[in-house]
């Protein structure tokens, strides 16, 4: 059954669906972790420029073993490739791009999202962290914020909540949520279920979501 996908297949499903949010001509920031996988699925013919907050414009696909350059990394310290014509610059210049609202889209991971579009994705109290990273700037600088994540946590508890319990990255910043089970839009009057992944039903999505969901008149079942 589709519901029994292994973790790698689930992440691939989410990343492939997230790629559809990217339009030709976009400048895009991909967050640390699963969002970086999206780069591997960008369709040929789409003219897309990927930006990393540590100072790289023009990120390519993940490198093969023979292509790995240990000095060429993204903000998550993962090795990457650079497209022809890529640019390197300082961290300060990178954040000037972000704060200047030059990014069309940012795709970020999430620990929790609230019904009003609040995002918590940078820390769990009591756990060791390296720092908050650039997400707090990105969620306010990019023109559209898409969060990708599992629909529930490892304890099978909802991650889409009435109110976030973890420290916030930003308030009312998320535009769309893409999970392994559904695509949900954050609208002024709440959350709208717009797509359901293959193998799931709208009723199951509602049952595994703490926040109230409205169902779109144009709901797409088995969409991805």
Query: What whole-number distance in Å separates Cα of residue 1 and Cα of residue 72?
Result: 39
Q: How far is Cα of residue 54 from the mean position of the Cα atoms in its chain?
A: 18
Query: What whole-number distance in Å separates Cα of residue 163 and Cα of residue 210?
Result: 9
User: DSSP alpha helices (H): ranges in 100-175?
Assistant: 135-141
CA separation, residue 119 to residues 85, 92, 145, 173 (Å): 34, 24, 10, 7
Of 19, 21, 53, 112, which residue is the catalytic one?
A: 53
- Detail the DSSP E strand segments found in the chain: 27-30, 49-52, 56-59, 82-88, 105-109, 112-114, 119-120, 145-148, 160-161, 176-178, 182-187, 190-196, 213-220
Query: Does residue 53 carry a catalytic annotation?
Result: yes
Minimal CA–CA distance to 27: which of 106, 137, 108, 89?
Answer: 106
Minimal CA–CA distance to 179: which of 122, 106, 113?
Answer: 113
User: DSSP alpha helices (H): ranges in 44-193?
Assistant: 91-99, 135-141
Catalytic residues, which ones?
53
């Amino acid at each position: 059954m589709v519901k029994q996908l292994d973790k790698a297949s689930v992440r691939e499903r989410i990343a492939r669906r997230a790629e559809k949010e990217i339009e030709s001509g976009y400048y895009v920031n991909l967050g640390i972790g699963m969002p970086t996988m999206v780069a591997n699925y960008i369709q040929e013919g789409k003219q897309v420029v990927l930006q990393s907050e540590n100072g790289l414009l023009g990120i390519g696909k993940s490198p093969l073993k023979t292509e790995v350059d240990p000095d060429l990394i993204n903000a998550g310290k993962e090795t990457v490739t650079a497209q022809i014509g890529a640019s390197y610059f300082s961290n300060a210049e990178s954040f000037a791009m972000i704060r200047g609202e030059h990014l069309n889209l940012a795709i970020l991971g999430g620990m929790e999202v609230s019904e009003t579009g609040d995002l918590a994705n940078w820390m769990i109290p009591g756990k060791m962290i390296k720092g908050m990273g650039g997400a707090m700037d990105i969620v306010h600088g990019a023109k559209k914020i898409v969060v990708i994540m599992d629909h529930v946590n490892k304890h099978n508890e909802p991650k889409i909540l009435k109110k976030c319990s973890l420290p916030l990255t930003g308030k009312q910043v998320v535009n769309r949520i893409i999970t392994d089970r559904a695509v949900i839009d954050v609208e002024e009057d709440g959350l709208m279920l717009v797509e359901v992944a293959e193998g799931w039903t709208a009723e199951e999505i509602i049952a595994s979501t703490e926040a109230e969901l409205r169902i779109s008149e144009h709901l797409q079942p088995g969409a991805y």
